Amino acid sequence: MFELLQSHGLQPNQRVAFISDGGEDVRGVQIYLHPEAEHLLDWFHVTMRLTELKQIAKGLPEKFRQADDQCELREPALKDLESIKWYLWHGNVFKALDELQGLEMDLDAAAFETKNKATRKLLKGVEELRI
């Protein structure tokens, strides 16, 4: 693959962007070929990840107790995931990342309080998407 890139005029100091599904095996090849390259997920795989996260969110408890308060969990998480998808589709990566970070903080608190398996699984998925 490196030879193919060179045959198309790739220079050693040239900026390169790889678009892929984000799998670790593919990223490993990309890093090997050009360590300074930018790595982007394609839209199909971004939406697939968000769809998977929304399915997990449907299994969240409706509410959780934090200190003396009852906090909504399931519906706000689903709404946040839909907002993230909308922001990404409209090119507002900054706002999507901001929303993702807020969701991550909410899930972190809920996972600590509830010890719920779906909450921990969704938290892990959100952390991975943010990275």
Whether the per-residue pLDDT at 64 is higher than 90: the answer is: no
Classify burial at 35, counting beta carbons within 10 Å of its beta carbon; exposed 0-12, middle 13-18, buried 19 or more.
Answer: exposed
Considering only residues 131 and 64, tell me which one the structure prediction assigns the higher pLDDT.
64
Q: How far apart are CA 102 and CA 108, in angstroms?
A: 10
Which domain range does residue 83 map to? 42-130
**pLDDT tens across 1-58, in order?**
778 877 888 777 778 777 777 777 777 777 777 777 777 778 888 899 999 999 999 9
What are the structure tokens assigned to 104, written together?
Answer: 């991550």
- Among residues 52, 44, 63, 30, the alpha carbon closest in space to that of 124 is found at 52
Average pLDDT of the chain to the nearest whole number? 87
Q: Is residue 85 located within the same domain as residue 21?
A: no
What are the structure tokens assigned to 65, written together?
Answer: 């107790």
| Percentage, residues of the chain above pLDDT 70 | 98
Q: Is residue 91 located within the same domain as residue 53?
A: yes
